[in-house]
Amino acid sequence: MARVKQWRINQQLSYLLFDPISRRGAVIDPQPALASCYVQTLEQLGVGNAYVLFTGAVASGVKVPGQVLGADMFSAGALSGPVAPDALALGESRIRIIVDPATARVAYACDGLVFTGLWWLAGGLRPFVASEPEADVDKLPLLQLPDDYVIYPGRVSRGLCISSVAQEKALCCDPLLAAVGAHYG
* pLDDT one-digit tens code per residue, 102-137: 677 789 999 999 999 887 776 665 555 555 555 555
Task: Give yes or no for residue 42 having a pLDDT over 60.
Answer: yes
* pLDDT one-digit tens code per residue, 135-171: 555 557 777 889 999 999 988 887 888 988 888 877 7
Lowest mean pLDDT among 3-7, 19-23, 103-107, 133-137: 133-137
Average pLDDT over residues 40-46: 96
Share of the chain above pLDDT 90, in %: 42
Q: How confident is the model at residue 181 (pLDDT cuts 50, 70, 90)?
A: very low
Domain count, the chain: 1
Tell me which residue of 3, 10, 4 sits closest to 32, measured CA to CA.
10
Average pLDDT over residues 38-63: 91
CATH value at residue 77: 3.60.15.10
Q: Distance between CA 86 and CA 144 in Å, rounded?
A: 16
Q: Is 172 or 28 the better-scoring residue by pLDDT? A: 28
Share of the chain above pLDDT 70, in %: 75
Q: Is 82 exposed, middle or buried (0-12, 13-18, 19+ CB in 10 A)?
A: exposed
SS3 184: helix
Domain residue limits at 35? 3-184
3-state secondary structure 4-33: EEEEEECCEEEEEEEECCCCEEEEECCCHH
Average pLDDT over residues 86-114: 88
Q: How confident is the model at residue 175 (pLDDT cuts 50, 70, 90)?
A: low
Indicate if the alpha-carbon torsion angle 60, 19, 101, 9 is positive or negative: negative
- Asked if residue 14 lies in contact with residue 30, where contact means CB atoms within 8 angstroms, the answer is yes
Q: Phi then psi for 172, rounded to 5 degrees? A: -80, -45
Q: What letter would DSSP give residue 90?
A: E
pLDDT at 148: 94
